[in-house]
Amino acid sequence: MREKIYFIVLLILCTTNVYSQQQNNDNPLIQLSGFVVNYDSTKIVPYASIHIEGTSRGTFADMSGFFSFVARKKDKLVFSSIGYTSQVFHFPSDFNDTKLITVIRMADDTFYLPEFVIHPFSTPEEFDYYFVKSRSKNDNLALAYSNLRRVPFDMLAKGISLDGIETYRWYQQQRADLNYYNGQSIPMKVFDAFAWSEFIKSINKKKKK
Helices (H), the chain: 2-26, 124-133, 140-147, 150-159, 164-180, 193-208
For the chain, how many structural domains are there in total? 2
| Confidence (pLDDT) at 136 | 65
pLDDT tens for 3-49 read 555 445 454 554 445 344 444 456 788 999 999 999 888 889 999 99
Query: Could you tell me the residue range of the domain that residue 8 belongs to?
Result: 2-106
Query: At a CB cut-off of 8 Å and minimum separation 6, what does 32 contact?
Result: 67, 68, 69, 70, 71, 77, 89, 91, 100, 102
| Confidence (pLDDT) at 36 | 93
Name the pLDDT band for 162 (thresholds 50, 70, 90).
confident
Q: Are 89 and 159 found together in one domain?
A: no
Phi, psi at residue 153, to the nearest 5°? -70, -40
pLDDT tens for 55-114 read 888 899 999 999 998 998 889 999 999 889 999 999 988 888 889 999 999 998 877 788
Is 205 a residue whose pLDDT tops 60?
yes
Residue 114 resides in a domain: no
Residue 112 resides in a domain: no
Q: Of 57, 74, 106, which closes a domain?
A: 106
